[in-house]
Homo-oligomer: A and B are copies of this chain.
Amino acid sequence: MRRRNLSRVLREVAAAGTVSRAGVAARIGLTRAGVAPLVEELLRAGLLVETGRAAGGGRGRPGSGLTASDRGPAGLGAEIGVGHLAVCAVDLRGRVRARVAVAAANRHSAPGPVLRRLSALLAEVTSRMAAEGLRPAGLTVAVPGLVARGSATVVHAPNLGWRQTDLASGLAGTPVPLTVDNEAHLGALAELRLGGGTDGPAPPADFVHVSADAGIGAAVVVDGQLLRGARGFAGELGHVPVYPDGRPCDCGGRGCLEQYAGERAVLRAGGIAPDAAAHAGPGARIALLARRAADGDTTATGALREAGTALGIALAGAVNLLDPRAVVLGGALAGLAPWILPSLERELAVRTAVAPAAARPGGCVVTVSRLGAEGPLLGAAHSALSAVLDDPAGTSTPAHSPQS
């Protein structure tokens, strides 16, 4: 119970920015006397710090305001993309404190060299963190593939060409607990936590999050909880059949969504050569496609219209089955939304009883993630940080603890 209350206090202060002891007590429904020892413990552990001012900007006695520490534990997120590697660190205040990203030809790669390169990026970020008084509390790695529930094993990442790949050994040099998760799942967690922004509406608790890197992934959130599936493999929207007798897919099926709306399919249909914008960094070819579409290039707009149609057909199935409050387009799809949305929404309107909202009040809305391609990486860092927020006492001892 004490552990749970410590967690509630820390989460409340982290969410509030700056807040008084009385404010915390009121928000979590405890007395000031009940909150005081919890706050003291979090202050001693260095997870909270006192400010001279309470929330609202009024001047109180020194120490009347509480804020989460901008030193101490931070969540470390990493992303293994098909075309890039990225690492970032997020502090208890939810701010990104360090970030590196590099282009990387990871398609059909050997895991060893990829993980060695990622380890070097992790070392670079942790060194920057140390200089600012931050220590990693945990590492979550986002991968574009199926991850066995509760394990560090990538069961199958078709675009990387990895099968039954255990990341724990390749990342053994990282001195913090390691979690591996599907990139679309982490993108959805980021959306759930950050999607509403400070000035926008709160993100809905029931949504289907669709993202694209090289493949297409999705995540289903129900009542604020990620639906992981019996084995952890839920969300494989990329292999939902769209045109059952259509193009063969690497998965062994035919007419999968990925063959019509995946990055490779869209770039090819949009006339972007495989070597276009080479070495221009992650996302450069998609950015080039978006520029051409914005310039009115009909090959580009036609390719994106067809991708939207395919996405709309697959999402019509998902909406009929799940009745979500919203469909959120994230990842590379966010930047392409202006040219994808019209045909996508047309299919949804015709093929579902409950969408879109414009056609039928109360129906499912289609929104575009503000996080875009950053979602999975941010979701990974926040996911790593949640161990501290869930159990402040268990993780507040200065690192580096041995890997679990």
Chain A residues with CB under 8 Å of chain B are: 146, 156, 204, 206, 218, 220, 222, 227-237, 239-244, 251-254, 256, 313-314, 316-318, 320-325, 350-354, 362, 364
Query: Interface residues of A: mostly helix, strand, loop or mixed?
Result: loop
User: Contact between A321 and B218 (Cβ–Cβ < 8 Å)?
Assistant: yes
In the bound complex, what is the Cα–Cα distance between A239 and B218 (angstroms)?
A: 20
Determine the chain B residues whose CB is within 8 A of the CB of A244 once the complex forms: 242-243, 313
| Contact between B353 and A240, CB atoms less than 8 A apart | no
Q: How many copies does the complex hold?
A: 2
B contact residues around A320 at 8 Å (CB): 236-237, 239-240
Q: Is the CB of B351 within 8 A of A231?
A: no
A230 and B323 within 8 A (CB): yes
Q: Which partner residue on chain B sits nearest A231 by CB separation?
A: B323
On whether the beta carbons of B313 and A362 are closer than 8 Å, the reply is no
A358-B63 Cα distance, complex, nearest whole Å? 64
Report the Cα distance A204→B231, complex, angstroms. 13
- Inter-chain CA distance A235–B354, complex, in Å, is 12
Q: Is the CB of B322 within 8 A of A240?
A: no
A239's partner among B227, B228, B251, B353 (CB-CB below 8 A) is B353
Contact of A233 among B156, B204, B228, B353 (CB under 8 A): B353
Give every chain B residue within 8 A of A318 (Cβ-Cβ): 317, 321
Complex Cα gap A325–B362 (Å): 32
Q: A241, A256, A313, A318 — which one has the most chain B CB atoms within 10 A of its CB?
A: A241
Nearest-CB distance from A171 to chain B (Å)?
24
